[in-house]
Structure 1
């Protein structure tokens, strides 16, 4: 890729000698890029992500679930049931039961590293998927009725390692707070002082970002989560519309 680009540029600016030099330099850069895991690929296109197998994805997702469930120092049965319900919906009862036999060991583990797990997923999943993981973790935290300070803190830490932007994190977090004018603006990632035109633009942007079609490659449970997130965006916009008389 790089060698042909530089060869063309060399030909344009320096004719045949430039094309030859560009090809040779590009070949060296291509070889270096492969040997360093694609460090230069960002200059010439999006870095190719490594893939993650369904089994590895499940195990790492379970580990993140365990970190959230244990964050406040107690293991809530309602939070466990929330996770089980997700896996039953996603994979069926038989596979969910097999997965949960592993989950019991994960819950008891003291060796879980939020950084290691989230970094692994960050390098192997697309951004919309990581947004949905963050949403799912907040769903677990709220399953017992409230998101504790400790739970919100560990989710924020995980979201950072997943490379979720601050504004996206605050938007998702606001979806799990008590409905208010302030949370509606946070969901749309705008200030309360935003103009009506800016509110409309923000809604279109957020609706596009959280559209369920972006998770068409994921399982049914994740698509349902995306639909819930999309609905929250619509509700926030409608609330602002009502308050402003738009």
Structure 2
């Protein structure tokens, strides 16, 4: 699949507003790079093809909207501590290869590198567009992925944590949901309680109710509209909820 056909098939509502402006700049750079060694007429045809493929789609949430949102937010988090660790960049690429296969991952990472070059990205404007158009379950999946990026080099810095917290707020993710996903990336005696969004004073019945609630919230079917690739990502959150519940079962003996 050519780059223009991939990007056209991938973008819905995200090719508008502040996200559209960011992607527009990145696409221009990608097409210019692809034109290296081609004549001007061929490069012009490629630009027109990209514009046509992207603009002909209806503004509905689809897998590509998640991918584009993910690339932009990943760029913001990676640059939060003032440096770009190669392990974090490798994590992004590996995740995309695992989800989409090598060819599509190469397209996505090419776009990511151009997004990453942009110096002035408004976190607030991007997140507000995502909040308006994307379902809550998909936004939770975005947050989970961002923690994975930040943790790829072994630890989450204070600046990365602050940036992810800011993003969560703009995305309309509650404090308890934020703490639940954050707990999935830290080793702490109380993490099982935090993942289930309860405290240590909870009764065994409270724990059972919390597990049912969280299992429903993080069930992979919640992101079925994003395609099989993102369901696999959601399965990781679902698994961690199950492990948190089993840990408390074992500790309390119920």
- Partner in structure 1 of residue 35 of structure 2: none
* Structure 2 counterparts to residues 50-199 of structure 1, below 5 A: 51-52=60-61, 55-178=64-187, 180-199=188-207
Q: For CA contacts below 8 A with separation 6 or more, give which structure has more relative contact order.
A: 2
Once structures 1 and 2 are overlaid, which stretch shifts more, 100-109 or 128-137? Answer: 100-109
Whether the 8 Å CA contact 1:86–1:221 is kept in 2: the answer is no
TM-aligned CA deviation for residue 57 of structure 1: 4.1
Compute the TM-score of the two structures, normalised by the length of structure 2.
0.73
Superposed CA RMSD in Å reads 1.6
Once structures 1 and 2 are overlaid, which stretch shifts more, 213-222 or 107-116? Answer: 213-222
Compute the TM-score of the two structures, normalised by the length of structure 1.
0.75
CA distance in 1 between partners of 2:64 and 2:242 (Å): 34
CA distance in 1 between partners of 2:233 and 2:164 (Å): 17
CA distance in 1 between partners of 2:154 and 2:104 (Å): 28
Q: What SS does the aligned partner of 2:159 have?
A: helix
For residues 219 and 82 of structure 1, do their structure 2 counterparts lie closer, same or farther at Cα, with a shift above 3 Å needed?
A: farther
TM-aligned CA deviation for residue 183 of structure 1: 0.9
CA distance in 1 between partners of 2:192 and 2:135 (Å): 26
Aligned residues: 196
Larger radius of gyration: 1
Whether the 8 Å CA contact 2:63–2:227 is kept in 1: the answer is no
CA distance in 1 between partners of 2:242 and 2:170 (Å): 28
Give the gaps of 5 or more residues in structure 1.
Answer: 1-49
Q: Deviation string for 1:45-97 (max 9, x for gaps)? A: xxxxx624655543332110001111112111111111112222333322322
